[in-house]
């Protein structure tokens, strides 16, 4: 199956600093990747759709300037949490779709646990 790799798996940063999270499709090309956020005991909330070579599409309520997304190649999307604050502490997960036979399946990265202190 397809593999999506996310890095780092966890990060602790000081309030006010920026953090970059990478999402790579290792054995396939992904023109579209997705970034999710998950709070404890809650489901995945889609933050934005990352489009290779163009601007990301953000979901309602997600600050574009706060969560910068860059999809510069067909195998890499990055999410930068700018000027992080404790309320940004969360589990961030990326995914990419891959066609398996007649259907398209979403493959997830390992996730990044961000703690802002």
Partner 1 sequence: EDKVVQSPLSLVVHEGDTVTLNCSYEVTNFRSLLWYKQEKKAPTFLFMLTSSGIEKKSGRLSSILDKKELFSILNITATQTGDSAIYLCAVGRFGNEKLTFGTGTRLTIIP
| Token pair belonging to 79 | 């999410």
Based on the shown chain and the rule CB under 8 A, indicate whether residue 58 belongs to the binding site for partner 1.
no
Strand partners, 67: 81
Question: Is position 46 an interface residue for partner 1 (rule: CB under 8 A)?
Answer: yes
CB of 28 or CB of 108, closer to partner 1 = 108
* Burial of 92: CB neighbours in 10 Å, binned 0-12, 13-18, 19+: buried
Looking only at residues 60 through 99 of this chain, which bind partner 1 when binding is defined by CB under 8 A?
93, 95, 97
Which residues of this protein are in contact with partner 1, per CB under 8 A? 6, 9, 32, 34, 36, 41-46, 49, 93, 95, 97, 103-111
């Amino acid at each position: 199956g397809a593999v999506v790799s996310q890095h780092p798996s966890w990060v602790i940063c000081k309030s006010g600093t920026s953090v970059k999270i990478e999402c790579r499709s290792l054995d396939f090309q992904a023109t579209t990747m997705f970034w999710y956020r998950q709070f404890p005991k809650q489901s995945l909330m889609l933050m934005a759709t990352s489009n290779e070579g163009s601007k990301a599409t953000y979901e309602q309520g997600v600050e574009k300037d706060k969560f910068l997304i860059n999809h510069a190649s067909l195998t890499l999307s990055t999410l930068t949490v700018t000027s992080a604050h404790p309320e940004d502490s969360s589990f961030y997960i990326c995914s990419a779709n891959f066609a398996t036979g007649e259907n398209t399946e979403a493959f997830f990265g390992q996730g990044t646990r961000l703690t802002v202190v």
